[in-house]
Structure 1
Amino acid sequence: AYRGGAPSTGDDFSTLAAWLYSAGGRATVAPDYLGLGTGPGTHPYVDTASSVSASVDALRAARQAAAQHGRTLTRDVHVTGFSQGGQVAMAVGRELSRGVDRHLRVRSLAPVAGPYDIAGQELPAIFDGRIDDSSAVYYLSYFLTAQNRLHHLYDDPREVYREPYASTVETLFDNDHTEQEIAKGLAPNIRALLTDEWT
């Protein structure tokens, strides 16, 4: 959720993971998703199309950069990701297998702990208590805010969020607040966060 935690800032776990893969002798890319890192705008959280596009573009850029340095990369791509990255890894693997770029083919796929079935698993788990309150509130708030920017789910935050959160939740997810700042400003549980119509 915080643009400063993206790979291009060099200040995130994903950067460390990329270095570890590179240390094994692989050409490695760790893409920023739209709205994160040094890019403009807000991040469309869990928007598959934009995340796949950013990832495939990073792979294409890596091929060009390698060529400029006299290196040749194979077509084989090994894709992994954690959390949202797990969901993106699945989608990138699908698009590579469909031939999104003739110079790239998926060789292996290792998605980890992603939101693969939001409607069938994630949302029921949020509302029946299988996901702890702080995580449920954080990710549902982020998801609804980001998806509303893309798909117009509501006209006014007060339709979805109870006060005092209705006045602040969209501002918290502007990608300029750290995860700690966001968590401090959110409701303690889903019932305190959402209006009756949205629970």
Structure 2
Amino acid sequence: MSDSSSIAGQPARRGLPGGATPAQSCVGLVTGVAGRAFAIRSGGLEAVGRRAASCLLEPVAGDTVACLLVAPDELWVVAVLQREEGAAHLLRSEAPLKVEAPALSFEVSHLELRAARAEMAAGDAEFSCSRLRVVAGAIKLVGLALNSVFDRVTHFSKHHLRTTQGIDRVQATHLEIEAEQLLRLSGEHALINGDKLVKTRGGQIHFG
């Protein structure tokens, strides 16, 4: 039998391949942060390193990190190993970040989202909560059908304009329409039906 093991059918190579860059791993302490540069102290080594693309957790001063020393002046922080309890965690990516998964769920006590522009597209969406409060400068809804069911609806606006091309019907047990100055009802045909009583009262009543 051969002494070499294989992965995916490829024989394992002993030592470094020709032309490969050697690297030394170490564990260090972040002593300072200046922009994208991190001051690292590991034993007697003090160097300035950068965060690797795979390390999304932003290192802060006091973190214990795993580093990869490629050259005397090239140090990469590949992972944050330990942080003080209670300190905040920040995931940062210098490039656009995309997450793909069959299912994604968040379970938190408080969720806050801030963005200059937000877009969401879904074939079917459902939102459930005990209370919903929306504050916006302008709201526009466009769709084929709108169905709403409420026990009570209260609406206030300075101006209310409504246009219906088809039938506009209101069905209620008791209906009141009150205007402080002028009430005007007009149409090609006007019908008022009262099964028991029709009453008109005013200081002056004009017909015709």
TM-score under structure 1 normalisation? 0.19
TM-score (norm 2): 0.19
| Larger strand percent | 2
- Greater radius of gyration (CA): 2
Greater RCO, 1 or 2 (C-alpha within 8 Å, sep 6+)? 1
